[in-house]
Amino acid sequence: MMAARFVVDVQSVVSREKDPTEFGVVSIGAIHGGTAPNIIPDDVVLTGTIRSFKPEVRAKMLAGIERTAKAVAAMSNAPEPEIKLTEGTRAVINDPGVVARAEKVLKAAFGDKFRPSPPVTPSEDYSEFINAGVPSMFFRIGVYQPERVAAAREGESPQLPGNHSPLFAPVPKPTIETGVQAMTLAVLSVFDRHAPEK
């Protein structure tokens, strides 16, 4: 009961405490507790993740998670919970200068197949490079046949599985060739910036 209450109540951190115009999500992905249907377990372990773009939103959600867990235990007159909040990976924020240079060459090479992406929320440890001070750009490439993508966009077929799905099955050619070409062009665009003036 306490675990269930926490899963529901912690959503109020997102809905009531953070700025509603800022992105932030708290997801409980696993609940482990008990061995039999008629025995209340001594303990339950909940694990989850938070997603945010801004550090201040992340800090508010972390504080809210801890406060909610303690409040749920106190409401049930239970011992204070053991709370482990790890930093995890932070948001990937592309360097505007790197993006501007790469965008020019990628548009020239791929035409209307190149599209800037709105912010997305997968967990990605690539942010460690950026947070270490390396000017960076994270980009994605399509991996399915254009007709499958079009059918999924029109709702004529199921959504295409992403790279963490067991059903993820990219088309090797031309996916690999496109990836190599895009990465090479992006890297060369950075080298060109550092080239000596002629």
Is pTM beyond 0.85? Reply is no
192 against 171, higher pLDDT? 171
- Residue 146's pLDDT is 86
Over residues 176-192, the mean pLDDT reads 90
Q: How far apart are CA 149 and CA 152, in angstroms?
A: 5
Cα separations in angstroms, 124 against 90, 91, 134: 8, 8, 16
- Residue 92's pLDDT is 84
pLDDT at 135 over 70: yes
Per-residue pLDDT reduced to its tens digit, 70-106? 999 999 999 999 999 887 778 888 899 899 999 999 9
CATH topology of domain 2-75: Alpha-Beta Plaits (3.30.70)
Which pair of tokens denotes residue 132?
A: 């270490």
- Name the pLDDT band for 192 (thresholds 50, 70, 90): low
Name the pairing type of β-strands 24-33 and 44-52: antiparallel
User: How buried is residue 36: exposed, middle or buried, by Cβ count under 10 Å (0-12/13-18/19+)?
Assistant: exposed
Per-residue pLDDT reduced to its tens digit, 22-71? 999 999 999 999 999 999 999 999 999 988 888 899 899 999 999 999 99
E strand intervals along 7-140: 24-33, 44-52
Q: Map out the domains of the chain as residue ranges.
A: 2-75, 96-194
Nearest 5 degrees, angle CA 79-CA 34-CA 166?
Answer: 115
Residues 89 and 128 sit within 8 Å (Cβ to Cβ): yes
- Residue 197's pLDDT is 45
